[in-house]
Amino acid sequence: MSRWSYFARRLVLAVPVLLFSMSIAFVILRMGPIDPVSAIVGTQNDPAYRQAVARSIGLIDAQGNPIPLWEQYFAFMRDLLTFDLGRSWVISRGTSVSELIASRAPRTIWLGFWSVLVALLVGIPLGFYAGLNPNTFSDYTASFGGIIWRAMPNFWLGIIISSLLVASAQLTGGAFNWADWIVETSGGGVTAPPLTDLTDPENLAIAIKQILPAALVLGSSSMGNEMRIGRTAVLETVNSNYVETARAKGLPERVIVWKHIFRNALIPLVPVITAEAFLLIGGSVVVEAIFAINGLGKLFFDAAIQGDLPLAGSLLYIFVLITLSINILQDFLYTIIDPRIGYD
């Protein structure tokens, strides 16, 4: 099977997964206990106003008759598949969903970038170092640290780090404030993202300083996984036949480590590294809530609990598309790292 035939086959197989995922999302969001009309009108009990709101969001027709769920479902799926994301019902009523996502996405992307970078730059080197120096004090220290990082829940670690930062700021007389990340205004609108002029070294340093605590929390689980799996992969590769053959040929140890050991040890790490995207999608909800970072994670949480179907559904649709794309990318990376793996 050629590369493009495999790619086309994976795209075709992804379609039913996407449809099934969004169908489940519609059932959970629309048939759940949350009434979007009540969330919009609040304490106002005027029946005429409630009917007007329900009509404006497509729950009843012009004559006041309820629109069947199956019609709402097909309209929901049609809009998503044509990328007509619509407008928010509750969170910022009348605001384009695309505008809300675009205003929050830079924070989540910035958080995700540093979370992955922290995990990669700490977890993989520690795992490879421990694998190259087995049964030493450094190996035991790295292994123990990896287990501890992996075992700590994100919400607990986030609260601890946030408390430590606040306490240290109070002791030093500094002002620890996450308000720069808040984008909602008192009028319900949104302001421009603070991540605008990162070409200025001072602004870049401030942005990195603000995000590193949250990135450390979000990347902690992946860091521990990469460290432990990397160590095991290196230990298995060091004792393989082709490494012994390379040593017998007299190749320098540096060449053996970089060309034979590290490259083959990366193969089992591919699914772990790509799975970080799934962790970032789910974990960002908790971390953004703890550190008051108004990104996509917190936006989805607010939309879900308030029954904002267009906003929550659109975010879920984007998350599912990202997940499916990363799964396909993972298979391609396998064939690049290990030429023995084909598309059949």
Q: What is the CATH number of the domain that holds 135?
A: 1.10.3720.10
Please count the CA atoms within 13 angstroms of the CA of 172 that sit on its side-chain side.
9
**Which pairs from 52-55 meet CB under 8 Å and 24+ separation?**
none
Q: What is the pLDDT of residue 185?
A: 35
**Residue 69 located in a structural domain:** no
Please give the chain's pLDDT, 344 residues, in tens: 676 777 788 888 888 988 998 898 888 877 777 777 777 777 777 778 778 888 887 778 777 778 888 888 888 888 888 888 888 888 888 888 888 888 888 888 888 888 888 888 888 888 888 888 888 888 888 888 878 877 777 777 777 877 777 676 555 555 444 444 433 333 343 333 456 666 677 777 777 777 888 888 888 777 877 888 888 888 888 878 888 888 888 888 888 888 888 878 877 777 777 766 666 666 677 788 777 778 888 888 888 888 788 888 888 888 888 888 888 887 777 777 666 666 66
Provide the number of structural domains found in the chain: 1
CB-based contacts of 331: which residues, under 8 Å, 6+ apart?
A: 6, 10
Q: Given the structure tokens 């017998």, which residue do they identify?
A: 248
**Residue 233 located in a structural domain:** yes
**Residue 93 located in a structural domain:** no
Q: What is the pLDDT of residue 67?
A: 81
Listing DSSP states for 199-238 in one string gives TSHHHHHHHHHHHHHHHHHHHHHHHHHHHHHHHHHHHHHH
Tokens standing for 259? 């060309």
- The whole-model pTM stands at 0.73
Q: What is the pLDDT of residue 197?
A: 65
Do 231 and 147 meet the contact criterion of CB atoms below 8 Å apart?
no
Instruction: Output b/e per residue, 42-79; b: 16+ Cβ within 10 A.
Output: eeeeeeeebeebbeebbbbeeeeeeeeeeebeeebbeb
Residue 129's domain comprises 101-308
Helix (H) or strand (E) holding 27: helix 3-30
pLDDT digits (tens, 9 = 90+) for 235-264: 888 878 888 888 888 888 888 888 888 878
Do 248 and 288 meet the contact criterion of CB atoms below 8 Å apart?
no
**Residue 213 located in a structural domain:** yes
Q: What is the pLDDT of residue 194?
A: 52
Instruction: Output b/e per residue, 240-254; b: 16+ Cβ within 10 A.
Output: eeebeebeeeeeeee
- Kindly report the number of other CB atoms within 10 A of residue 326's CB atom: 17
